[in-house]
Homo-oligomer: A and B are copies of this chain.
Amino acid sequence: MSLKIALAQINLVVGDIARNRQKIIDTAIEARDHLGADLCVFPELTITGYPPEDLLFRPDFIATAQQAIHEIAQQTLGIDVVVGFPESSPEGLYNSAAVLRDGKIFCRYRKQALPNYGVFDEQRYFLAGDKVNLFSIKDTLLALTICEDVWRPEILFANRRAGAEIILTLNASPFHAGKMAQRENIVCEAVQSAGVSLVYVNLVGGQDELVFDGASFVVDQQGEIVLRAAEFQEQLALIEFDGVRPKASECAPFYNDIPSIYQALVLGIRDYVGKNGFQGALLGLSGGVDSALVLVLAVDALGADKVEAVLMPSRYTQVMSNDDAISETEALGVKYHIIPISPAVNAFSDMLAEVFSGAQQDTTEENIQARCRGVIMMALSNKQGKILLTTGNKSEMSVGYATLYGDMAGGFAPIKDVPKLLVYQLSHYRNSLAPVIPERVLTRAPSAELAPNQVDADSLPPYENLDPILERYIELDQSAAEIIAAGFKTEEVQRAISLVDRNEYKRRQAPPGIKITTRAFGRDRRYPITSGYRGWPPKGVSD
């Protein structure tokens, strides 16, 4: 007798319990009526979305979520529904999954492994469960697990020992480059050791700094993937079991680094803009590669008609910058405005002349230009209800090569976790689909154009060296001594990490952006601003 399980890889809205509830009901009914599924499995904390963060401290929120679970049970008769929800109990809150059957909660499971690293704070909210919990359907014994649980082989083994034949896993596993391979490798290896089949259902969609990539899958007892859902889109997939053996089904292609990152950025933008109710997006287009990439990402996410570009030339802006910016808007069919900034810059210059009399020109004057652009962009954003996208990349965010309240102003920073070299790779990739970014933007030397003939290389190591130094220092926690030992130039290492150390205050006020690396700025990396730690000189104790 065959068992049919639907994998409901859906996009939820954190906190919007009414909407999530309806979506769960509609999806379960579709699985029942159109796919003939016996069981429909949803992602982790389905009813609240993930991560609900401190909303979990609100008793009214928890009560509403529990109430919604009962409503779902009553409206999905004829199919077993497996949903995630925050379960309150006298001793505290659990991250739980419930099997809904015949209008009631038939079985429930409490997550045992609570991640409290990286972007995760689950021990802030939840108590850990300590029991396996099996249920049967069509004479097959199924076990429930939640996300981090299946990264711990001992939990799979315990389920196997208890008699589980198929393990269901509800997940909210966020994307970073390479994560899909890591996830499949770890789970397949554990499943193979345990000798059970496993159905892995992942969330899809953007939530603040995170993108959940979907790519749900089914593994058989030999550790082979027999079904894989698409990345970055909703999908209701069906797996049929012949006894406890899953039949081979459709497998979406295995991920490919650059296209996956590109799609993650598109989905992250689309969901941040859409779920926050903006009318569209706008951005300052400088003729440089960063804003060029953000523009095409925004167009791919929202459609050309929802995006506006603003050119804000100054006396230092080269003609080719404007020309290139305009070509891209034309290639994409995006509306643009040109608003030269000199009237405002001159006004501030006059207003400050007296207090600045006698002082040397320095970065203050460069910052004023960037901040005049910030004022213009925010005025347009406020007037139109469109979100301002910030165009800074991770290399800049790392070393503070950006002006707070200037080019850092904005509601969302799509590429803030994308290092400069990867900005170029993504741009070339997008141009390979259809050429939209002018070739010159990809070949000329990067410049902030805030002073005469300025180029980034005047104040920063070349990106070919800077990016790997930053990766080692920020993502891998390597010391200066280790980075130098790996072959990087002493003075470039010193320059890079000294800048990282002293720019935490800027990053703290930066808009959120999309995590695509193993460690993004934001919830993922929590550094003190006030800090005497200096990565340079190499020995930590200065004697």
Contact = CB atoms under 8 A, between A and B. Distances in A.
Contacts of A116: 116, 121, 123-124
Interface string A3-17: 000000000011111
Interface stretch (A184-192, A285-293, A391-399, A404-412): A404-412
Interface in A351-394: 351-352, 355-356, 359, 362-364, 367-368, 371-372, 374-376, 378-380, 382-383
A276 B405 contact: no
Contacts of A18: 532, 540-543
A347 B343 contact: yes
Contacts of A346: 347
B375 A375 contact: yes
A28 B42 CA distance: 59
A344 B351 CA distance: 8
Given A53-B527, A272-B530, A477-B59, A540 B64 contact: yes
Interface residues of A, number: 98
B208 A529 contact: yes
A91 interface: no
A512 interface: yes
Nearest to A524: B54
A149 interface: no
Contacts of A364: 379, 382-383
Given A477-B58, A532-B19, A542-B18, A383 B359 contact: yes
B383 A528 contact: no
A389 B355 CA distance: 19
Given A272-B530, A405-B378, A510 B512 contact: no
Given A18-B543, A383-B362, A404 B375 contact: no
Interface in A464-493: 477, 479, 481-482
A511 interface: yes
Contacts of A117: 124
A180 B17 CA distance: 40
Contacts of A340: 351
B208 A530 contact: yes
B53 A530 contact: no
Nearest to A405: B405
- Greatest chain B CB density within 10 A among A16, A367, A379, A482 is at A379
- Greatest chain B CB density within 10 A among A13, A51, A208, A540 is at A540
Nearest to A55: B533
B58 A479 contact: yes
A271 interface: yes
Nearest to A116: B123
Nearest to A365: B379
Interface in A265-310: 271-272, 275-276
A331 interface: no
A103 to B, nearest CB: 18
B339 A343 contact: no
B383 A356 contact: yes
A337 interface: yes
Interface in A115-136: 116-117, 121, 123-124
Contact of A371 (B13, B208, B378, B510): B378
A54 B526 contact: yes
A159 interface: no
A372 B405 CA distance: 11
A458 interface: no
A374 B523 CA distance: 27
A14 B534 CA distance: 11
Contact of A51 (B64, B276, B351, B528): B528
A519 to B, nearest CB: 9
A525 interface: yes
A528 B64 contact: no
A106 B52 CA distance: 46
Interface in A14-71: 14-21, 49, 51-55, 57-61, 63-64, 67-68, 71
A318 interface: no
A207 interface: yes
A432 interface: no
Given A14-B532, A540-B63, A53 B526 contact: yes
A139 interface: no
Contacts of A534: 15
A380 B351 CA distance: 11
- Across the A-B interface, give the 5 residue pairs with the lowest CB-CB distance, nearest first: A16-B532, A15-B533, A64-B540, A60-B479, A15-B531
18 contacts: A18-B540, A51-B528, A52-B533, A53-B526, A59-B479, A63-B540, A116-B116, A207-B530, A339-B351, A339-B352, A344-B347, A346-B347, A351-B376, A356-B379, A368-B375, A378-B404, A411-B505, A508-B511
Given A59-B479, A509-B509, 5 more contacts: A63-B540, A123-B123, A276-B529, A348-B375, A348-B376
